[in-house]
């Protein structure tokens, strides 16, 4: 058999040929052990080859998916290569299992054949008791036919010459040639030379070697098929992931950001010539570094990428063009509830700026304080001022660019206002006629902040009450220090009759800003 060029395969083939020759002298335990070691090495090599071939098939499939026109022939013939290789592999595997069966199978503990010394197991199958070698000749022909079929898969492919086919045929180790020397014609036969009086373990090892040669031949052919894809095209050694926006990169709520994601290939060792707007661009590792700026407004650019075709030596020029826009930095500070800043409460605001993500923004205020609101996330802040200011408050916003530089975005003025006064109510009313049953159920005065979005509760701190019974002098109850009616007020409220009048005056309340507020007088007539 021809010797392959791969060092590992050459070593394994030489070892089992030497071991086979030694069998004529003696079938010792050492020789049997050696066959088991070689066999294990071959099986391990088969696994590695199977993985390698699978990866090659996947790469060819990817090339086909990306460019069916260029890769279709290689894709179809690689599928045929797998079909041809699998057919012979399965046939050899069938005969290998027959030898294993004749040798009584494997020992469970050692995974070695129970009757590995059986000198008839392989010979009976491939040589036959009549020594006509019917199956051996059939397998020999199938091996050589398979090699020819695999090599011929490269015929008619552009860029593959007749010399390439001859070279590939010589390279492939999958062959079963008769031996030129021997005592008689039968001794020269490949199948006699390989399987005559060999122990069962040697027969299994030889067939595993043939199976490995099948996978190696398959690998040689599909690798050549892969090389034919774009054989005269540019050569690339680097793949990078690229995402090209398909529209604007800044979208509003309800819109979708759309982009194309793909693999970009280039040669990091062969720099192209890149020009933009008539000037050369710095190129590093096969990539042009374009940097453009300018005044405010829309700008157009165009250029060329020039690269020499490795197959023809022709310099090909690939033009490109595009647009970009330069804008002044701008931003906005939006009050989340009202377009003013109220004294004494946390005023939530959202800050945005074109060209900056929210996490790259910072803010300061001329009076009071502005701090991030971690509960709401980046871009959200709380403003708090403790006193009025005739000039209002100015919020300054800055943004950090990708190079780490902090750039001012703008200053945004806000008015400062006091929280409006609350409205005093008893039983949900601000005075007027009230049913005696409803009034008797009340326990105090509430201070309601109507039409205000902030959470700022007010509490009545003091009031005076005047009770005027029908045809009676007013009864003053002054200096009350709580919104809750005390025993004195509850005493007259519980006895009120239709026609009685209650007056609540000098009502004061205090809210979250801490300032006391004098509220309007409440007058109720019991009905």
For the chain, the 3-state helix, strand and coil shares in percent, each to the nearest 5, are 35, 30, 40
Q: Is 438 helix (H, G, I), strand (E, B) or coil?
A: helix
What's the confidence (pLDDT) of residue 330? 57
Alpha-carbon distance of 208 to 96, in angstroms, equals 8
Is the same domain home to 76 and 182?
Answer: yes
Per-residue model confidence as pLDDT tens digits over 41-57: 667 677 888 888 999 99
In contact, 297 and 325? CB cutoff 8 Å: yes
CA 426, CA 12: separation in Å to the nearest integer?
Answer: 103
Closest CA to 345 of 388, 385, 302: 385
Query: For the chain, what is the radius of gyration of the CA atoms?
Result: 47
Whether residue 249 sits in one domain with residue 211: no
Query: Are 95 and 127 contained in the same domain?
Result: yes
1 within a domain of the structure (yes/no): no
Beta pairing partners, 320: 303
Predicted local confidence at residue 426, as pLDDT: 95
H or E element, residue 167: helix 162-171
Considering the domain architecture, whether residues 72 and 197 belong to the same structural domain is answered as yes
Cβ atoms 457, 344 nearer than 8 A: no
Q: What pLDDT, on a 0 to 100 scale, did the predictor assign at position 24?
A: 41
- Clarify whether residues 180 and 210 are in a common domain: yes
Residue with tokens 């088969």: 46
Question: Can you list the positions of beta strands (E) in 130-281?
Answer: 238-245, 259-266, 273-276, 279-280
How far from chain centre, in Å, is Cα 265?
A: 20
CB 201 within 8 A of CB 96: no
Q: Domain for residue 89, yes or no?
A: yes
For residue 165, count other CB atoms closer than 10 A to its CB.
16
Q: Residues 317, 339: one domain?
A: no
DSSP 270: S
Q: Cβ distance 234 to 65 under 8 Å?
A: no
89 and 219 housed in the same domain: yes
Q: How many CB atoms lie within 10 A of CB 16?
A: 22
Query: Backbone phi, then psi, for 510, in 5-degree steps?
Result: -130, 135
Rounded Cα gap, residues 218 and 506, in angstroms: 102
Mean of pLDDT over the chain: 83
Tokens 């005023």, residue located:
347
Domain count, the chain: 4
Show the CA angle centred on residue 339, arms to residues 419 and 406, nearest 5°: 120
Q: What pLDDT, on the 0 to 100 scale, is given for residue 331?
A: 61
Q: Give the range of the structural domain holding residue 500, as residue numbers without chain letter.
A: 423-526
Residue with tokens 């690939």: 318
Backbone angles phi, psi at 269, to 5 degrees: -100, -5
Element (H, E) at 489: helix 487-493
- Which of 417, 432, 455 terminates a domain? The answer is 417
13 shares a domain with 58: yes
In tens, the pLDDT along 174-192 reads 999 988 876 678 888 899 8
Helices (H), 175-329: 185-188, 190-195, 200-228
Shared domain check, 210 and 77: yes
Last residue of a domain, one of 417, 432, 462: 417
Tokens for 286, please give them: 């096969």
Confidence (pLDDT) at 169: 92
Q: Does 300 map to a domain?
A: yes
Q: Which residues of 235-253 are buried (b: 16+ CB within 10 A; e: fewer)?
A: eeeeeeeeeeeeeeeeeee
Residue 216 lies in a domain: yes
Closest to 335 in 3D by CA, of 317, 325, 349 = 349
Tell the residue number behind the tokens 């009905």, with chain if given: 527
Residue of 213, 198, 205, 204 lying closest to 96 (CA atoms): 204
SS3 state of residue 199: coil
User: Which pLDDT does position 322 carry in this prediction?
Assistant: 76
User: Does 46 lie in the same domain as 137?
Assistant: yes
Same domain, 34 and 100: yes
Residue 67 φ/ψ region, left for φ over 0, alpha for ψ in the -120 to 50 degree band, beta for the rest = beta
Cβ within 8 Å of residue 498, ≥6 positions away: 436, 526, 527
If asked whether residues 271 and 407 sit together in one domain, one would say no
> Is residue 520 a part of any domain in this protein?
yes
Choose one of 301, 326, 351: the last residue of a domain: 326
Give the per-residue pLDDT at 252: 43
Beta strands 287-288 and 283-284, pairing class: antiparallel
**Tens of each residue's pLDDT in the chain, 527 residues:** 344 445 555 555 556 555 555 544 445 565 566 555 656 666 767 788 888 899 999 999 998 998 888 889 999 999 999 999 999 999 999 998 998 898 888 888 877 888 888 888 888 999 998 889 999 999 999 999 999 999 999 998 877 888 989 999 998 989 999 888 766 788 888 998 888 888 888 888 889 889 989 999 999 999 999 988 866 555 666 777 776 666 555 544 445 667 777 677 667 767 788 898 888 888 887 788 888 877 767 778 898 888 876 545 678 888 888 776 666 665 667 666 567 899 989 999 998 887 788 888 999 999 999 999 999 888 899 999 988 888 899 999 998 887 788 888 888 999 999 999 999 999 999 999 999 999 999 999 999 998 888 888 999 999 999 999 988 889 999 999 999 999 999 999 999 999 999 999 999 999 988 889 999 999 999 99
Residue 260 confidence (pLDDT)? 75
């Amino acid at each position: 058999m021809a010797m392959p060029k791969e060092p590992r395969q050459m070593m394994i083939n030489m070892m089992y040929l030497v071991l086979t020759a030694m069998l004529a002298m003696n079938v010792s335990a050492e020789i049997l052990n050696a066959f088991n070691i070689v066999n294990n090495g071959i099986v391990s090599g088969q696994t590695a080859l199977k993985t390698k071939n699978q990866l090659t098939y996947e790469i060819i499939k990817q090339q086909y998916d990306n460019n069916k026109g260029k890769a279709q022939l290689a894709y179809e013939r690689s599928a045929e290569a797998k079909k041809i290789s699998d057919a012979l592999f399965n046939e050899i595997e069938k005969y290998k299992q027959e030898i294993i069966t004749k040798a009584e199978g494997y020992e469970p503990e050692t995974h070695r054949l129970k009757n590995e010394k059986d000198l008839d197991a392989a010979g009976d199958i491939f040589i036959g008791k009549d020594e006509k070698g019917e199956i051996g000749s059939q397998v020999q022909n199938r091996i050589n036919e398979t090699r020819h079929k695999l090599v011929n898969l490269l015929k008619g492919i552009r860029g593959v010459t007749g010399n390439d086919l001859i070279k590939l045929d010589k390279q492939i180790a999958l062959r079963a040639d008769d031996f030129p020397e021997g005592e008689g014609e039968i001794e020269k036969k490949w199948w006699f030379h390989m399987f005559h009086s060999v122990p069962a373990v040697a027969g299994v090892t030889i067939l595993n070697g043939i199976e490995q040669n099948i996978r190696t031949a398959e690998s040689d052919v599909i690798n050549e098929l892969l090389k034919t894809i774009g054989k005269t095209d540019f050569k690339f050694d680097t793949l990078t992931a690229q995402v090209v926006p398909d529209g604007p990169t800044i979208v509003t709520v309800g819109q979708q950001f759309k982009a194309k994601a793909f693999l970009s290939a280039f040669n990091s060792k062969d720099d192209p010539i890149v020009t933009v707007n008539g000037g050369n661009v710095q190129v590093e590792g096969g990539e042009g570094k374009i940097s453009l700026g300018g005044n405010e407004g829309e700008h157009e650019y165009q250029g060329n990428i020039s690269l020499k075709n490795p197959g023809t030596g022709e310099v090909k020029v690939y033009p490109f063009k595009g647009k970009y826009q330069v804008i002044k930095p701008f931003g906005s500070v939006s009050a989340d509830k009202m377009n003013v800043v109220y004294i004494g409460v946390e005023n939530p605001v959202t800050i945005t700026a074109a060209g900056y993500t929210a996490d790259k923004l910072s803010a300061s205020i001329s009076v009071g304080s502005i701090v991030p609101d971690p509960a709401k996330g980046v871009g959200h802040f709380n403003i708090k001022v403790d006193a009025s200011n005739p000039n209002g408050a100015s919020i300054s916003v800055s943004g950090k660019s990708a190079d780490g530089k902090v750039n001012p975005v703008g200053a945004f003025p806000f008015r400062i206002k006091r929280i409006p006064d609350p409205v005093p109510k008893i039983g949900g009313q601000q005075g007027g006629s009230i049913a005696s049953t409803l009034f008797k159920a009340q326990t105090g005065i509430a201070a309601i902040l109507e039409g205000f979005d902030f959470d700022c509760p007010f509490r009545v701190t003091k009031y005076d009450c005047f009770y005027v019974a029908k045809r009676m002098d007013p009864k003053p109850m002054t200096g009350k220090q709580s919104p809750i009616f005390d025993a004195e007020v509850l005493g007259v409220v519980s006895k009120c009759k239709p026609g009685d009048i209650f007056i609540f005056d000098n009502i004061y309340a205090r809210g979250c800003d801490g300032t006391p507020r004098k509220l309007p007088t409440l007058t109720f007539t019991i009905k």
